[in-house]
Structure 1
């Protein structure tokens, strides 16, 4: 197990599930890629490297949930994944948050251990470089407590894209040994590709 603390800062886990899955046509967090709903599968993975794990959601998603998995409804609503990240950073101001989106079905324990092992708590965040465009991937990243103020600053400028913040901030960027880890599934075609990779 990788240590969940770094220079005195605890590491919490957050599964992002608040998207409306319009392109997929069905809720991505409820898809069962690994024998259980994806939101719970990612939470279980996060529990191996984090002190506490929460599932980020919209308020209307707080029904039919498993009480073993604490939910964290957005207090910053209507601004996409930045709202979930800001909500978590506000909820526990003295913790860093390892954030993983629910639409990354090929994330596994090695993905998280590599990220945590590369963490630099002096930076704003630690993130993978997306193998497609070479840009920081904000939705599988460790966000340090100091990122809270910067995210709020960007929000005040009506910039709601966490990737833009990572591009311009002091971010620890790493390359994924397996680029498939970062395969983002947004459409049925993406899901077919992910299923094919999982079968092999």
Structure 2
């Protein structure tokens, strides 16, 4: 169940819910249209950039076919199919005969980190302008597309066209390279990708019913304060903002100085808490931690964060028990949000299933014991003795 509680001015009807929308372009979060050059030169430049960045980032390219004649539909599309899939063994091919809307493109490119677009045919959120002398007229026709130019490349000219200077008031502050300065161009994109790394927020899961324990696990005092506050204070060393995930009725019991994030995807357990966090801040990554792992320490968090891979949907620890990902001590990247929603639409509410069936970076825990859950009174007594022994020995 998804609840939707937003304050509205009295007497004013809102047709749609107030949702935080991810910041994306036509295709993805980080996209550049390359325009102003012959299409073959755009393809070659895109190939150089993608070859350099693809070992670290998932890169994509968007273009338009140059076939001037009407071509027959391929395969079964000619028979009336709306979609045809072919496993090409070394790649996968989907052919559509239906019109694709903007939302379809965003869905298809959601898993990518960088999208380069042939700007001679399609626009993008940011632009790279190539200055060719014999393409002046063509570029002038597209001057209205120059809404967010971030890089200018000189091909066979020594200076920028005057109409480009007029269209880009801040052109003198932009990097300007020769088209053959490939390494500088690649370094530009590398720097942009580093800058685009999503900020990391913390989410401490405290909304469980604690039925097996018999009382609220998040309020157990292991180290001089309730575990929910102890864990939140620990995450503050690593995260921009830290929230206690809870049920709506629990908010009034949270101490001052701690931010809460109530579930808006209710009845889904930890999966609902994760979705609720992304619903609130879809452009942030979330370090999600259960409140029932009292042995967690800085070594485990340091290792997780130092090995974070924003190109994956998540970075997680591998369970020493079954080898599967531990979803509740995991960094969930923004790109995991649409993936998780798709799993929910198919009737799945298990965050571990999302991690298993997608590109997840899995780490071996440095100390598997720190991932121990405390779920029952017997667990409580066992871990309590371990902690007291550890404190006594130090």
Query: Highest CA radius of gyration, 1 or 2?
Result: 2
The alpha carbon displacement at 1:7 in A equals 4.7
**C-alpha distance in 2, partners of 1:22/1:67?**
27
SS at match of 1:89: helix
* Coordinate RMSD, CA, aligned: 1.2
Does 2:290 match 1:101? yes
Gaps in structure 2 of 5+ consecutive residues: 1-193
The alpha carbon displacement at 1:42 in A equals 0.5
Does 2:269 match 1:80? yes
Does 2:244 match 1:50? no
Does 2:207 match 1:14? no
**C-alpha distance in 2, partners of 1:42/1:11?**
16
SS at match of 2:201: strand
CA offset digits 1:141-163 (Å, max 9, x no partner): 00000000011011111110000
The alpha carbon displacement at 1:180 in A equals 1.1
- 2:223 is aligned to 34
- 2:280 is aligned to 91
**C-alpha distance in 2, partners of 1:109/1:48?**
9
Cα 1:114–1:6 shift into 2, 3 Å: farther
- 2:257 is aligned to 68
Of the two structures, which has the highest relative contact order with CA contacts closer than 8 Å and spacing of 6 or more? 1
Give 4+ residue runs of structure 1 displaced > 3 Å after superposition: none
Gaps in structure 1 of 5+ consecutive residues: none
The correspondence for 1:174, drawn from 344, 358, 363, is 363
Q: Is the 8 A contact 1:7 1:121 kept in 2?
A: no
**C-alpha distance in 2, partners of 1:196/1:173?**
31
TM-score of the aligned structures, taking structure 2 as reference length: 0.49
Q: Is the 8 A contact 1:6 1:121 kept in 2?
A: no
The alpha carbon displacement at 1:130 in A equals 1.0
SS at match of 1:18: coil
Q: Is the 8 A contact 1:104 1:181 kept in 2?
A: yes
The alpha carbon displacement at 1:8 in A equals 2.6
Q: Is the 8 A contact 2:197 2:310 kept in 1?
A: no
**C-alpha distance in 2, partners of 1:113/1:48?**
10
Pairs aligned (count): 196
CA offset digits 1:35-58 (Å, max 9, x no partner): 101100000010000000000000
The alpha carbon displacement at 1:6 in A equals 7.6
